[in-house]
Structure formats: C-alpha cells, structure tokens
Structure 1
C-alpha cells in the first residue's frame, strides 16, 4: 500500500488490504502475506488472529483434509469447539439438513459467508431439533466440499452491526481456493467398526489460468454413504413376535445415519484483472443429493387411524360398500393377535378391508428428500484514483428439497392407497445486491455501503395421493401419507420479503498501542419495519507479547419468510403414543386463538473480553463472551386442540384437521442469556526427531432461559435450551512430521448433557461426559502422491445406553455429542500436481 499505517495498527492495514484489488493473475501466489488476510478480520498464524479486536479462528484446508468425515458440519464440530451438531436419526427434515449450533445459540443465529458474501439459507425448517434448534432455518453448509476451500474463518463475536441479520452468535466465512495452476485428486473410503455406513468419497480440484490476468478454480466431489443402524428391538414389536406374529421385522425401527446417494458438489471460483486497479470476480456452486432416513414403527394392532380406532381392542375395518352396508365383522385383538376367524371373514368379504391384511407385521416408513442447491455471485472491485476502494456485487441462491416417503399409506384411500408418495417441495430463494466502499486516511479507515435483499419461500403441493381425503376418512382412517402428509394445493404458494440496509464502519489507530473500531447499521424490512444496531471494539497492545481485546454490540435476527408462512404436519411421540402435530403460521386463526401473533425480530446485546499472549513458540488466546437475546423465535410446545378448535380448522377448509391432536406455531416467546469462554493455545516444537505442533481448543458455554411464557414453553423445553448441548467441549491435538511420514493424534472431550428422548417430555436422559480419540498416519510418496490410514473415535467410544431403549428401539441417546455410530476407520489416497 502507498500509505502504510503505524506499527500499532496492523489490523487496519490488513483490513484495508482486503478491500484492495489484488490482480487476479497473482491470486495463486499464496504468500504468507496474502494468506494472513481474512475477509471477516485479520489473520496471524497459527490459528487465532491476534491483531484483531474480536476473536477470529483461521482453519486451514489441511485441518479438514485430515479427518475421517467428509461432511462439513461434522468437520467443523471437530475443529471449532463451540460448534455442535447431532446425529438427528429420526427428525423429519432435520435428518436431511442437520442443524448446527455455534456458541450455544440456534443454527440460524450464525451467519454464513462464502468469499465474504452472504450465503443463502436452506429450504428445510428444523421442526424437530432437540429444543435449541426447533424451528430453525439455517444455511446448509454440507453442500460445500472441503477440497474447494483455501481456509475457513470463524468470527466468534456478534456482528449484526456489520453484516446484518443472523450474526448474533458469529460468522463463518468459507474462502475458496484461487490457484490458477495445479490441483489435487483424492479418493477416500471408510466404514464404521460395526461394518456399516460404508462411505466412498471422490474429490478433485483444478486451477487454470483465465488469460494472463486471471484464474478459474474448479472443485468437484462425489459421495455415497450407506445407512447405519444402532437399534434394538422395540418392546411392543418384541411382544408381537413373542405372541406369534412372525411378520414383524427385527428391528422394527432403525435408528442410525441416513443413506446418502448421488451427493454431487461442484464449485467454481474465478477472477480476472480488468486493469491495474480493478478486478472482476465470480463464484458459484451446483449441488444435489438424495438422503433417506427412518421413521417410527406403526404397530399393526394399535396405530390409530390405520390399524385400530380404539387403542388396540379391535382392528379398524373399513366398509367399502356404497351405503356402508357391507356387514363387516368386528375383529377383536386377543393376546396381541387379531381373531383369525373374524379376520378370515374380512378377507372373504370384498366390501370389507383392513390394513392388517397388507401389513400384518406393521410398517415403518422411510422418509427422505431430493435436495438441490444453486448459487452464483459476481462482482467487480478495485481502487479509484482518489484512493477510495469499492466492491460492487450481486448474488442469487436457491435451495430446494423435494420430499418423499415410502413404505407407508394414505389410510383413508383403503386398498387403493399407494405406498410411495411425494408430499411436496420447499424452495428457498435469495437475491442480493451490495455496494461496499472503504477509504484509508492516515490512521483512519472509513467504510460504508448498502445492501438490498429479497427472500422468497415457496411451498409446492404434493402428489394428490399424499393429501387426498379418501372414502374411508369418515370411518376413522387417517388422511394423507402417514408420517408426513402432503402439502395441499391450498398450502402452496410463494411468499417474499424485501429489505434494504445501510452501514458505516470507522476504525482508528490512536497510537502504536490502541486500535478502536465502531460500526452502525440500519435495516428496513418489508414485514416488520426497521432496526438500528451498533458495535464498538478495541485492541490494546500492552506489550509485544500481551494484548487485550474486547467488543460490545447490539444485534438482531429477522424471522425467516418460511417461519412466518410454513404449514407442516409431523408425527411425534407422546405419552399416548404417536400423534400428528400441525405447525401453522402464527397468524392462522387457530394459532392466534392459542396466542399466536406476527413475528418480530430477535434482539441481542452482547460483549466479549479477551487476551492474546505470544510467548516464544507458545500462542494463547482467551475470550469471555456474554450474549443476551430477547424475543427468541422458536416453536411453541405442542398445544392440545379441543374439539371446538378442530371443528374451527375444519370450517377453514383444513379437512384433515380431524387427525390433529395438537398444534404448534412460531413465536417470540422467551429470552436467554448465554455466556462462555473460548481458550485456544498453540505450541510448535522442532528437534532432530522432526517437527511437532500442539493445539488446544476449549469452550465452556452456559445458557439460562431468563423469561418465557409457560403456556407455550414447557419446563422440559427450558431444560433442553439450557442443557441439551454440552457445557464443556474441547480437543487437544498433536501433529508430528519426520521425513516422509506425519501423524496426527487428537483427544476430544464432550461434557454432560440432557436429552428429552423422542421429543416426548416423558423420557428424560441424563447424558454422561465422554472422551474420544482420533488418529491418522500419512506417508508422502514421490511425485505428490500420499496415502493415509486413520480412525475417528479410535477407541469406539459410545454414549451410555439409556433406560428407555425399549420404547422406540434407540440404543443410544439421539443427541449424544459423542455420536451414536461409534468408531470409523478410513483410507485416503491423494495426488497433488
């Protein structure tokens, strides 16, 4: 730069440099200087940035490479201690796009960027998310292949005043590779110790020149993963078998990871120098995958609306005759077995029908979705003659999920019901335009800009069989594809919202030891009005070895268009068995009768205080954070519907309401205070035995629900919000290299947690703390070829088995931080060129 700042304001220099238009033709020359620049802040090796007033972690691509998992959520939870993700084996849409939590907050409280630009959220809304993630609609980071990444930057601080909505917990920025030559080809195969979950991953990256002044970097990944099962036989299924029912599967219900088919990811990142002082850039992706998971077992004696209408005393027999005069017999169930003589009479009468004839062992639906993700961002940035840096960009993103459910029925259709349904599709579309400017003035940096965004959520109706009201509905048979009824034509539609934002940032190097920064952002939303948020931060160099940093900020999270408008019916466990629970828009008359009202944004106040120490080869950062969030958005607990309320739904034209037992809606209905500590330490050691690096990363996090409406939020949900995530989480790793060999050993710790098993509020689980070990040995051969063998959870650590296993057949707690699948070994072969 022509105007370098004083030595005490390195952070300012680097921030301005990140706005400066480096010629795209030089982007592949990843020198130490360019690698130290982070879009969300500054960068200093090895992990955390010490010249930033707020805590930022830089995670190099190699940290993702050296893991057994290839799922981005799972990889992040290994390297970012305050990042948590659960298995979600039977959780409707959450099985397809797993919710993840940063610093103890909901998934959609973390803003995701790619190359510094806002990433669109997923179409999936997490209706079942273990309490803390219930109702969240977040970004699907699993569509990002690790091989496309140059680094990942994690801003562990509230940043709504800088980036807008969703940045209450922090910001994760995925920086794409920008080399114009060379590349990498990688093949990986792995399997769990139990012999299932076979995973094959093929990935490639290629850098190409784009004329003499640019680059185009291409990445691709293909993956398949078999399902896993960590199940035991359910008690009710075992009782059926003991009673003589040989048609019941063993296990009747599977708890495990879903099967992943055709998981294809493509990313492109390109840049071109238009002149000495301006660059054009473009990046985008295309991804698709199919995921199939399990659902709850439908007992052939007791499942209401399909097999029985009286809790299992008799079978539900449908009369197919026009005048319901088929004289169908009553089929009593005695000692777990329907009376064979009465059942034979049903079979002999063409006017009578029972699903027991088709599914004598009951059935367990398989639920899944075909997912598609697209994005494209383009822009131009550079420096004008007056020294003003600019960045103009426009982006569009689309995420959609087309649901399917198999091995189930629309009971109201009787014998004419198919067993595979397409219940409908959710689509999330986001478009945005940005203009960003920055102007350095001696020891000042003045930044400002504006943003326009449009967010659209679309619902498409399912195939008619998934929602139609069949002729047996009036006889007590349930309506719609059992387990996930289809979206009806009246439910489909497109809902949009626009917003505009203006912001300004000022940073000042007071002297060689003090950096001050301030940010202010104004946003105006079409649905609920405007909001203003601010941030102050500072970095104080006490000495060359020790620094203090801190920030204070206000923030907000706007309700998503999906949360404002979605309709959904899901099957959940309860004290009386499986029940269909409807999620309605908060402005629906029935929701409003239960207390629903238009959603408002969440509002937050937070502060951090930390220290950075560099003691020779030892580097340590310690940061305390405190986050208060008011009017948090979530789903209410299930609210029982009275007969009058069900009739009111029927009068609205919701003709399947007769099968609803309760209703939920999105609401601003509770406040929380979250506090925690992040500790990061790195140490490097060189000797005649090779080079060794040690890394410690630890997080303590505590959430307290400070206010809630007991009519909507139950005590169990309060406890889930406070204790479902482990309070303590961390890892200690050692990397050692000597000659052509290098090894990795990582020790992971997960603290105690609480689970409301089956989302039922009647089966509490007190989860114990656990340790796991990861290990890898890699050999570097000639000509860029390397081979590695490794294991995640080397010692096959499992969560403690819980006392409610027989209720639904889950051997381990579904939300156990240590996971449910156990040890996983893998082989990896790569070629760098």
Structure 2
C-alpha cells in the first residue's frame, strides 16, 4: 500500500484529538517523577525531578508496550532522541544495527546493565563505530530502563559522550511467561516470541531470578526485479530467471536469550550479588545477485580450468547468502555494603565477550574454479572486556550544607581485547585462475585472511571523585573529576560541573558543563577488511579495501594514528512537577566534538597503487578498485532540545495516562583536517543522515478489564546515502508519521491478552529512486521500519 495523504491525516487527527480531549478533561493524578533513579548520580534517593541531568525512566509496562523483539528497537520507538537504522541486506550492519543518541556516533552512548559497563560488539559498524549490541539483552528480562541524556565521561569514563543507557534487570520472583506472534500486513516477516521468568526468595532477604526468551523472525522482502535481471531474462528467453533474483528486507533470524540476577545478604552489612546475560543467534540474508552476462570476473571460461563453465552450475546467476552466528555473554559479581546512612561501598568484577562468526553460502571463489566450495566460513571477530571496579560513597555531615555532602569516589581497571580469526582458506585464497582475470576470495564477502588475523589489547586505569552538595534547600551543586590512563595513547582528564536550583516547589532549573572522550578501541586501531558492493549506475561489482592507519599507502593519502575523540557539552533546562500529576522537562544541549572518528572518503586507486598493495600481501588487493581508512578528521557541533511531558487522571470509570517527547538535534561540521575539508560526502552524512525532528506521544486508558493504547510517532526529513564506485550518492526524504494501536484484555488478575498493530495505516516512505536499479524499493538507511504495517497478538500469564 502506498501513502494516502487523506488517510494519514485522518489517523493522525483522530489520535491527537483523543489525546487532547482527554487531557483537557483530566483531573491529573499520575506522577512519574518520584521514581528513584540510579543513573547519572551516586546520591541515594535521587528522582527524575531532583536529578541534575535530564533522564528518561521507562518502566516495565512501557518497555513492553511495543511489538519489538529487541531493546534497541524498543528505545527507538519510545525515546525520540534515540535512533536505530534497520539496514536490510547491508553486510554486518543488517544483523548488528547501529543505535545512536542525540545524532552522535553509536559508540558514544555507554550501555550499562545493572549499573555495570556492558561490553562492545566485535563488529565495526557504521563509519567504524564499535558499539554495544543492545539486541543481545533480553527484553523480557528487563525491569526498567534509564536513559541519561547528558555527557557523563567524568562519571563513567569512555563512550559516555552522548549519554548512558542503563538496563535494570527484573528482580520479580513471580513465575511468569508470555507468547507473541506478529506479522506484516504484506504477509511476511512472521515473528514468534516466547519467554519465561521465575525466581525464588533467598533465606536472608535475597532473590534469584532466571529469564529465558526465544525469538524467531522470518525474512521480509520489499523488492522489485533488478533492471539487469529483466534485461538478462529478455536476452535468454529459454532460461527461467527467479523474480526477484534477490530479496531486500529484514534477515531471517532465530535466537535465544537468557538473564540471571541474584543477591543475598551475607551479614547485616554485606550483600553478595551476581548477574549475567547470555544470547546466541543466527541470522542470514541475500546480498547482491551475480549476473552471468556482466560479472566476467566470475563467469569466464579460461585456460586455467579447461572445460569448467560456471553457467552449468548457476545458469541464471547466483545470489550469495550472508549470515552471522553470534554468541554474546556478560557476567558480573560483587560485594556491597548499602545499609549504612554514612558510608557504603561496592566492589565488583565483570567479564563480557561477543563472538561473531560470519558465513557466506551459495557463492564461489572463482579463482579456484571447480575446486572452490560454495559455502564458506568467513572467520570470527571476538571482543572481550574485563572490568574491575571499586566504588564508595561517604555522606559527610557539614554544618554549612542543608544535607550531608555526598562524596563518591572509586577506581576502575579495564582490559579490552579484540581478535580476528581467519576463515576457511578458500574464503580468502588467491587461486590459479586469478592470473586469468578470475576474482579471488569468496564472492560477495571475502573472508578474514591469515595475514589479517591477530589479537590486540588495550588496558586502562581510572580514578574518580564525584561531589554532590545540597547547599541550601533550593540549591544543589555537583562536581565530578576523572583521571584515566590508557596503554595505547596515554592520559585523559575529564570533569563535570552541574547545578540545580528550585525556584519554587515543583519548578527547578538545571544545567551542566562537562568534558568527555571516546577512546579508540583496539578493533578500530587494528582491524582491516575487504568488502564488495554494487555500483548503482553500472550494476557492476566493485571491491573496496579498508586499510590500517599505519599502512604506507594509507599514510600517503593522509592516514594517521587514531587518537581519542574529545567533547565539551553544555546543558540547560527546567523540570516541573505541578503537584497534580502533570510533570515534564525542557532541556537544551550543545556538544562540541573534536577529532571525530569516521571513515575517510573513498579513494579510487590506479594500477601502480594496487601493485604496491599486492606487494605488501594486503588480502584481496588484486581486485581492489578503491580504498579507505579510519580517521579522526572531523570537528562537529551538535545542538538540540528535548521536551518531555507526563500526564494522568482518573477519567470517568477508568484511568488515563499521557506521555510524550519531542527531540530536535542539528549537527554541523565545524572544521577538521585538510582531508576533512574535501570529504563533502561524510560531512553530509554527519549533518543530514538522521532526522532533526522526532516525536513520540502515547495515550493509555484503563477501564475495567480493558486497557487501550494509542501511540503517535513522527520522524522529520533526512538525507539518505549509499556507496558507489566513486563514493557516496544521496537522496532527500520527507517526514513520516505512524500510528500504533493496541487493546489489552485482562482475562484474570494473572492473565492478559493484547491485540495491536504498529503503523496501523500501513504507510510506506518514498521510493529510493537512486537504488531502484538494484531492486531496492525503500531506503536501507531509514530510521524507521520500511516494511509497512505490523499486527501482533500477545498473551501474558503469571502463576
């Protein structure tokens, strides 16, 4: 179904009218600001209202109000400043999706689980960002989520430039289970989700809770036949060419996730705790179809292999199937003392690992001819992180403060290791056919070569102090200082100053100024890769090599050793609590980033440069048409404002809740190196690659055994980009609005059933014109789902 403006306006109008009318009739009685928070502060008893920094708290019911099977997509639905690109059929990023906060890089948002740092994914995604994979954490195991929208490097260290996402695991010991089925209106993408949670109360007031969740999602396809496939069919009427020759859509996925959370009092003063997450998944999807008439480096008969003709195996071409088997786990354990009013402490150790093995089926290493396998293990990328933490808080009673001075201090040691393990030899081998012009390595995604494989590490030591003072009843001040030493690049020192002043009961102003940093990871410093793409103009394959920053060829084109990205962030805002249930906040921010990490512009290479790379034994260099590398070229400034509101009332015989948020962010490239000045494509990606305006509004009305939910989502205009032989090409897209509806019926006080639809109007964005030749209907970079409407049925049961 295409966009129908009158239908869209009717749906939006109906949703907004219902929210507005209910709000005007409300006698407010709902207040979220009294929930105690643990993110962005080490002072006990802080709430959203008393916090010095803007923070969103998403409770269990709110998190489960979406049909999404993963936390990253849930956050993108509920938090307008949080963005996730779906990236179907886009190599590794279709499986490990980049998620960003405030239009900053995905790895500038620190992810915590129960307040402890969660490890990165092994995969280097968009522009080389190596971020945590939120999809590896069970949605069903989540109790609530806190999203800090402020720079917090002085409090938490690297990666917290944009803010912090803290996922608090569910500690409810009740036995519960759920099942959910969903499918797109189009008739594909059938998704099954089932989960169970159960726990026990331990003898000394502790708990032990285990959650297990299984998910399976079938692929989707929003595709038309490629232009060259149409021409190939016309030229070969005796052949039956599949239509379409490849899918463009969500991958086929199945996986299992688990989480464990436990604590027990060892004495009256000391508590032991442990928690863990575990996930295993397998995903796969089509990549570019190989045309027998044009892909001569694959379909060619040569003297190297007399009598061998690939057309006897794949007469209508072939479509490689790329996928990943991922295993992800994190374990943490510690001792803490939290029962004292004056002094508390927490010591912990955590270890996390992400092991992603990539595979490619239905393909060939053409240079090996008939000796090539058709299925390949492409190798492993492995990221592991060990963290040791010691934290303490002393509440120092001073006569000149309204309350004791909260003195938090501590130390951290982190050991991070990135590994690349070689794939099957055939996945990267240069066979005898290469001398006759046949392409080497597995066609579609070359494997990790033995010369690329290796293990690289980085360690860091940090110490911090965080002072928070209630100077008067109205004035609150904070100072945080952190010093950190890295084995790769040396020392970094960061600070944060914050203030909050309550001008009257229920109304306060707050602001902060902080510095931050994002340390380059061992993977970013050392990983190299070879990738293949399809030129949208010629529909011919091209091969790009990403070189290391110390490679002589890369250095000749301006590469340099990576260094930390640094930031300065200022925020100013207000928060209010009307006392009758109406609460909200308005916060503006500005983040200046220096030495921003990105991928260099695409550099087309000549025969001499290619020969130089071949002489260096760079994997895949024989077929390189272009190269790039990671760089710290850009300085940017990001400004924005976020407005939130919550509203509740007993209305008629039921209860109404309204919540909404609007986010505006704008990024501007302010400078950089000479290379940055000429990299206009990357500049446009930074400035226009995601919508500047985003909004989400949710209304729920509970009456008797029923609860009705309506959600409006708005995404502003943005600019798409796609790779090509000569670099990126662009297309501007307009705004999109979606309405989600659901009704829940409580069968008993322990069982409920929910029927819902997301994008109930079945709206699609504009067609991706410049990618149409490849068979793509809708942009792969869209910040929203492009598969149309999705309906679902969910059943929840507690015992």
1:96 is displaced (CA, Å) by 1.4
1:731 is displaced (CA, Å) by 1.1
Structure 2 counterparts to residues 16-415 of structure 1, below 5 A? 36-41=36-41, 49-126=48-125, 129=126, 134-179=127-172, 181-245=173-237, 246-261=239-254, 263-307=255-299, 316-320=300-304, 351-382=306-337, 387-415=342-370
1:200 is displaced (CA, Å) by 0.3
1:385 is displaced (CA, Å) by 7.8
1:419 is displaced (CA, Å) by 1.1
1:655 is displaced (CA, Å) by 5.8
1:634 is displaced (CA, Å) by 1.4
CA distance in 2, matches of 1:428, 1:220: 24
* Residue among 642, 646, 666 paired with 1:678: 642
* Residue among 553, 560, 573 paired with 1:610: 573
Where 2:764 maps in the other structure, the secondary structure is coil
Deviations 1:108-165 (A, max 9, x none): 0000000000000001111xx3xxxx11110011011121111100000000010000
More displaced 10-residue stretch of structure 1: 609-618 or 529-538: 609-618
1:536 is displaced (CA, Å) by 0.2
Conservation of the 8 A alpha-carbon contact between 2:692 and 2:717: yes
CA distance in 1, matches of 2:576, 2:774: 51
Conservation of the 8 A alpha-carbon contact between 2:600 and 2:630: yes
Q: Determine whether 1:723 maps to 2:688.
A: yes
Q: Determine whether 1:557 maps to 2:518.
A: yes
1:42 is displaced (CA, Å) by 8.6
TM-score, normalized by length of structure 1? Answer: 0.88
CA distance in 1, matches of 2:599, 2:534: 16
1:43 is displaced (CA, Å) by 11
* Residue among 504, 520, 523 paired with 2:465: 504
CA distance in 2, matches of 1:34, 1:683: 14
Conservation of the 8 A alpha-carbon contact between 2:89 and 2:251: no
RMSD, aligned CA: 2.0
Deviations 1:735-767 (A, max 9, x none): 000000001000110100100135665642111
Deviations 1:426-453 (A, max 9, x none): 0000001011111001231111111000
Deviations 1:396-422 (A, max 9, x none): 000010100111110101122111100
More displaced 10-residue stretch of structure 1: 533-542 or 142-151: 142-151
Deviations 1:543-574 (A, max 9, x none): 01211000000000001110001011111234
CA distance in 2, matches of 1:617, 1:785: 29
Deviations 1:632-670 (A, max 9, x none): 111112212222221121221236311011111111111
Q: Determine whether 1:815 maps to 2:770.
A: no
Where 2:291 maps in the other structure, the secondary structure is coil
1:259 is displaced (CA, Å) by 0.5
Q: Determine whether 1:491 maps to 2:452.
A: yes
Where 1:93 maps in the other structure, the secondary structure is coil
1:34 is displaced (CA, Å) by 10
Where 2:504 maps in the other structure, the secondary structure is coil
CA distance in 2, matches of 1:37, 1:623: 18
Deviations 1:507-530 (A, max 9, x none): 111100000000010011000110
1:371 is displaced (CA, Å) by 0.2
CA distance in 1, matches of 2:586, 2:304: 71
Which position in structure 1 is the counterpart of 2:3?
none
Conservation of the 8 A alpha-carbon contact between 1:42 and 1:51: no
Where 2:450 maps in the other structure, the secondary structure is coil
Deviations 1:89-123 (A, max 9, x none): 12211111100110000100000000000000001
CA distance in 2, matches of 1:386, 1:696: 37
Conservation of the 8 A alpha-carbon contact between 2:533 and 2:724: yes
1:489 is displaced (CA, Å) by 1.3
Where 1:527 maps in the other structure, the secondary structure is coil
CA distance in 1, matches of 2:651, 2:166: 35
* Residue among 528, 532, 537 paired with 1:571: 532
CA distance in 2, matches of 1:489, 1:247: 40
CA distance in 2, matches of 1:697, 1:228: 31
Which position in structure 2 is the counterpart of 1:803?
769
Deviations 1:435-492 (A, max 9, x none): 1111001231111111000000001000111111211111011110011111111211
CA distance in 1, matches of 2:384, 2:638: 31
CA distance in 1, matches of 2:695, 2:607: 50
Which position in structure 1 is the counterpart of 2:750?
784
Which position in structure 1 is the counterpart of 2:700?
735
Where 1:757 maps in the other structure, the secondary structure is strand
CA distance in 1, matches of 2:572, 2:341: 37
Conservation of the 8 A alpha-carbon contact between 2:595 and 2:672: no
CA distance in 1, matches of 2:643, 2:145: 18
CA distance in 2, matches of 1:696, 1:178: 28
1:386 is displaced (CA, Å) by 9.8
CA distance in 1, matches of 2:320, 2:146: 40
CA distance in 2, matches of 1:430, 1:471: 42
Deviations 1:55-87 (A, max 9, x none): 011100111212111121111101111001111
CA distance in 2, matches of 1:300, 1:826: 42
Structure 2 counterparts to residues 476-487 of structure 1, below 5 A? 476-487=437-448
CA distance in 1, matches of 2:153, 2:33: 28
TM-score, normalized by length of structure 2? Answer: 0.92
1:213 is displaced (CA, Å) by 3.1
Conservation of the 8 A alpha-carbon contact between 2:342 and 2:396: no
Where 2:610 maps in the other structure, the secondary structure is helix
Conservation of the 8 A alpha-carbon contact between 2:109 and 2:164: yes
Structure 2 counterparts to residues 633-712 of structure 1, below 5 A? 633-654=597-618, 656-709=620-673, 711=675
Which position in structure 2 is the counterpart of 1:9?
none
